């Protein structure tokens, strides 16, 4: 008889969400985003004391782009703050120097991979999702031990009192360039999804139904097959705190690398390092 697997506390970090938040902060020097990121990342891991941490990156949303070529086409990107270079450096350090599981699928968004990790891979574990992205509200309807923490509001999010995916499919999502149904705002969308009879009547109109079903396909998380999960890009970190400290010293992150702070920094990741050695 196999021994019962011990439940773990798993942190699932929306990678680009955290990376973009590091663009704002008071740090100076040549790598302020890198500094802001690792200060925030350590604080997050320290706050929740997980056994495992996943840092999930974005792939190209192939299925959604096939469904709607203008998906997310409205997003503006700039590199005035040297974000691209610093983002690459952060990801490289996480992959190579930290006891963190950095994962990415080339053909799926972070949201889909994260949902699969939360609902399938770690279905028996205590999961905390770290993101300010409201798309993850749909995970809160799962009947399992899962929490969503918004690092901007600094609070756990309560489940919406209605079908969030249906609500969003009605009103659309401007951040992802998903058009809502004409005449539907937040209040009317809530009124419809909480009244099955009114919803059914509304969707009898073919243009309404077509737009609603299109939006459902764009908003609802896609399920990765076992084969697709096996295609995840994964890192094999080689934890070397002295080398990392040397790199941080070169970047003049002295408020991290001074003896007292460095001891706290490495202590935060000790349990993760032990897990990395056994998995």
Does residue 143 have a pLDDT over 80?
no
Q: How confident is the model at residue 73 (pLDDT cuts 50, 70, 90)?
A: confident
| The pair of three-digit structure tokens given for residue 220, joined into one six-digit string | 């609802």
What DSSP assignment string belongs to 52-63? EEEEEPP---HH
Rounded distance between C-alpha atoms, residue 14 and residue 66, angstroms: 24
CB atoms within 10 A of CB 234: 10
Percent of the chain having pLDDT more than 70? 97
Rounded CA-CA distance 117/102 in Å is 12
Strands 233-234 and 155-156 turn out to be unpaired
Tell me the per-residue pLDDT of 184-237, one tens digit each, with 9 for 90 and over: 999 999 999 999 999 999 999 999 999 999 999 999 999 888 888 888 998 888
Residue located via tokens 């590091």: 22
**The CATH homologous superfamily of the domain defined by 164-219:** 5' to 3' exonuclease, C-terminal subdomain (1.10.150.20)
Residue 272 has pLDDT above 90, yes or no: no
Residue 237's closest CA among 104, 100, 103, 105? 100
Q: What is the pLDDT of residues 94-122, one digit of tens each?
A: 999 999 999 999 999 999 999 999 999 99
26/31 Cα distance (integer angstroms): 12
The reported pLDDT for the residue numbered 214 is 93
What pLDDT shows up at residue 226? Answer: 87
Q: Are 9-160+222-271 and 164-219 the same fold in CATH?
A: no
* Helix/strand/coil for 119: helix
- Domain locations in the chain? 9-160+222-271, 164-219
Nearest one of 131, 133, 107 to 55, comparing CA atoms: 131
pLDDT at 205 (0 to 100): 93
The yes-or-no verdict on residue 133 having pLDDT over 80 is yes
| Phi, psi (deg, nearest 5) at residue 11 | -105, 125
- Tokens representing residue 7 in the block: 């439940």
Q: How big is the CA angle at 212 (ends 208 and 213), to the nearest 5 degrees?
A: 120
Domain 9-160+222-271: CATH architecture, name and number where available: 3-Layer(aba) Sandwich (3.40)
Q: Give the pair of three-digit tokens for residue 249.
A: 């010293």
Q: What is the pTM of this model?
A: 0.92
Instruction: From 18, 25, 13, 19, select the one nearest 253 (Cα to Cα).
Output: 25
Q: Mind listing the pLDDT tens digit for each residue in 155-171? A: 999 999 999 999 999 99
């Amino acid at each position: 008889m196999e021994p019962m697997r011990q439940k773990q506390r798993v942190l699932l970090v929306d990678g680009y969400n955290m990376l973009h938040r590091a663009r704002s902060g008071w740090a100076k020097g040549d790598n302020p985003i890198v500094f802001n990121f690792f200060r925030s990342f350590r604080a997050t891991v320290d706050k929740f004391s997980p056994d495992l941490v996943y840092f999930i990156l974005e792939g190209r949303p192939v299925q959604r782009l096939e469904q709607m070529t203008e998906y997310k086409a409205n997003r503006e990107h700039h590199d005035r703050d040297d974000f691209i270079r610093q983002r690459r450096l952060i990801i490289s350090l996480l992959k190579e120097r930290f006891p963190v599981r950095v994962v990415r699928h080339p053909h799926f968004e972070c949201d889909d991979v994260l949902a699969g990790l939360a609902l399938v891979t770690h279905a028996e574990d205590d999961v905390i999702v770290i993101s300010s992205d409201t798309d993850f509200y749909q995970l809160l309807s799962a009947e399992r031990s899962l929490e969503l923490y918004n690092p901007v509001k600094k609070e756990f999010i309560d489940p919406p009192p209605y079908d969030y995916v249906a609500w969003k499919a009605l009103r659309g999502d401007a951040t992802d360039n998903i058009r809502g149904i004409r005449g539907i705002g937040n209040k009317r969308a809530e009124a419809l999804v909480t009244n099955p009879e009114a919803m059914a009547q509304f969707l009898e109109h073919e243009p309404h139904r077509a737009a609603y079903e299109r939006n459902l396909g764009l908003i609802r998380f896609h399920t990765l097959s076992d084969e697709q999960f096996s295609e995840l890009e994964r890192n094999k970190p080689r934890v070397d705190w002295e080398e990392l400290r040397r790199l941080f010293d070169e970047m003049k992150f002295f408020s991290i690398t001074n003896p007292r702070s460095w001891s706290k920094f490495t202590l935060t990741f000790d349990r993760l390092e032990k897990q990395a050695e056994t998995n």
